[in-house]
Amino acid sequence: MSSDNLLLGGFQDFLPARMLPRNALIASARGCFEKFGFLAQDTPCVERAELLLGKYGEGEKLIYSFRDHGNRHVSLRYDLTVPLSRIVKMYANEISFPYRRYQMGMVWRADRPGKGRYREFMQMDADIVDDDSALADIEILLLASYLMETLGARAIVRFNCRQILDALVETCGLDQDAGVSLMRIIDKFDKVGKFGVISELAAAGFTVEVIAKVGAYLEVGGANEDVLSSLATLLGGASIFQSGFESLSGIVGAIKQSSNQITNFRIDPSIARGLDYYTGVIFETTLVDNPDFGSVCSGGRYDRLIKHPDGRSLPSVGLSIGIDRLFSAMESVNKAPSIKTTTQVFVVNFDDSAIAGYLQLANELRRAGVAVEIFSRSAKVAKQLKIANSRHVPLVLLMGPDEMSQSRAILKDMRTGTQTIVNRSDIVSAVLQVLVTV
């Protein structure tokens, strides 16, 4: 087998050059979730198959299922939402509701690999369980925008409401099954455009009148206030329209009054979210610099999926991010974190007999919070400096026999080439002072 074929399609290796910025992105996301008051949760990567099967509609064929050594039917988790439902069912008496949780973990889908699409990837979710308030919806939308801003990615949160789509279905005079089919076709708008949607509607047997109404609906655009006005004109006669209208206008008003971020949010009637369980606000987030990449953060309100052990449905809202898709998207526009190394100080090894002194120095620096690498064997100084430079280490410490005999060291800033002679007792403070500018 060729070395080019050793890695399964849809799976990735991460060498340090990509793993370091990926880790930085994950850490930033974790910080964002915690700033919004979400608490960390984790679950196993393998679940009982019956927990997952029957939950994902057409997506079920993408679940990795198998028999384990105990002949149990098990599956690799497909997402983090169904495991959340299990957690609530098992630990309801230990959870403080509303439950604000976030989770980061690998998920697996036997999907066709493509641009930003993998069979194994890290997903990050944040959900508010047992909260039907408009504030919970707004917080999730603001979290999506804040997350992108923190990561340095310019993004637009495009949102809609299922009640608006239901009003379209009602206006078109469709039954429930036809309405679901309509939403799934509209959900392809980003990929196929208006004429692609119309073609699919015609192929699916929708009438000319329905296609005309959908075409007018998909032409709605402009400023948020203009979109609301146009939707009222098109769908205002539907019985369910008013609740959707109030939801969208309430979100726009709250964001306007509470921050200057409203330009990051746009009502988009084409957002349909094909999964059937969404019940209220729905949204997708796209990068301004690469909108063709598609959504990098999506979610919405789902009030019927999570059940309390007593049988009650717990109204919930949340978002989900495929971290590896987001990372690929950010790489495509040169917005991924730029991190070359975690090592801050490289200690040149002049002589193996001096290792005890190097270890003592490294111990002092590490206890002061500095990341240190001691070169593992003595070699020419020029070679060691070249290695430190190739690893993008900002500082190098040189303590040869002469420096050790005089209880001092040479501190070299590899970014500028500046060298400073430092007394041995002052090395830690000198390093910390220079690292402030790294």
Closest by CA to 270, choosing from 182, 171, 146, is: 182
What pLDDT shows up at residue 351? 87
User: Does the structure show a pLDDT above 90 at 293?
Assistant: no
What pLDDT shows up at residue 259? 80
Place of tokens 């990929």: 191
User: Does the structure show a pLDDT above 80 at 164?
Assistant: yes
Looking at residues 136-158, what average pLDDT do you find?
Answer: 93
Cα(218)–Cα(200) distance, rounded to whole angstroms?
A: 14
In this structure, the strands spanning 408-413 and 395-398 are antiparallel
- Two structure tokens written together for 431: 């390093």
CATH 3.30.930.10 domain residues, the chain:
11-332
The DSSP annotation for 249-294 comes to: HHHHHHHHHH-S-GGGEEE-TT---S-TT--SEEEEEEETT-GGG-
Place of tokens 């060298």: 419
**111-124 residue pLDDT tens:** 888 777 889 999 99
Distance of CA 396 to the CA centre of its chain: 36
Cα(188)–Cα(58) distance, rounded to whole angstroms?
A: 15
CATH 3.40.50.800 domain residues, the chain:
345-435
CB 271 within 8 Å of CB 282: yes
Looking at residues 26-37, what average pLDDT do you find?
Answer: 95
Decide which of 3.40.50.300, 3.40.640.10, 2.60.40.420, 3.30.930.10 is the CATH code for 11-332: 3.30.930.10
Q: State in words which class domain 345-435 has.
A: alpha beta
Q: Identify each DSSP E strand in 308-429 by its residue range.
A: 316-322, 345-347, 372-374, 395-398, 408-413, 419-423
Query: Who contacts 181 (Cβ-Cβ below 8 Å, separation ≥6)?
Result: 204
Long-range (24+ apart) CB contacts under 8 A made by 306-314 are 306/84, 306/85, 306/88, 306/129, 307/85, 307/88, 307/89, 308/88, 308/89, 308/92, 308/130, 309/89, 309/92, 314/88, 314/97, 314/129, 314/130
**424-436 residue pLDDT tens:** 999 999 999 999 8
User: Does the structure show a pLDDT above 80 at 89?
Assistant: yes
What pLDDT shows up at residue 220? 95
What pLDDT shows up at residue 111? 87
Confidence class of residue 2 from pLDDT cuts 50, 70 and 90?
low
Sheet holding 99-108, edge to edge: 39-40, 99-108, 120-129, 316-322, 297-302, 281-287, 155-161, 265-267
Cα(12)–Cα(237) distance, rounded to whole angstroms?
A: 51
Confidence class of residue 438 from pLDDT cuts 50, 70 and 90?
low
Cα(382)–Cα(8) distance, rounded to whole angstroms?
A: 41
Looking at residues 80-108, what average pLDDT do you find?
Answer: 96
Sheet holding 408-413, edge to edge: 372-374, 345-347, 395-398, 408-413, 419-423
Looking at residues 208-230, what average pLDDT do you find?
Answer: 95
CB 66 within 8 Å of CB 128: no
Cα(20)–Cα(13) distance, rounded to whole angstroms?
A: 13
**328-354 residue pLDDT tens:** 888 888 888 888 899 999 999 998 888
CB 396 within 8 Å of CB 385: yes
What pLDDT shows up at residue 332? 82
Q: DSSP letter for 343, please.
A: -
User: Does the structure show a pLDDT above 80 at 361?
Assistant: yes
User: Does the structure show a pLDDT above 80 at 58?
Assistant: no
Confidence class of residue 275 from pLDDT cuts 50, 70 and 90?
low
**371-427 residue pLDDT tens:** 999 998 888 999 999 999 999 999 999 999 989 989 999 999 999 999 999 999 999
Closest by CA to 359, choosing from 385, 387, 397, is: 397
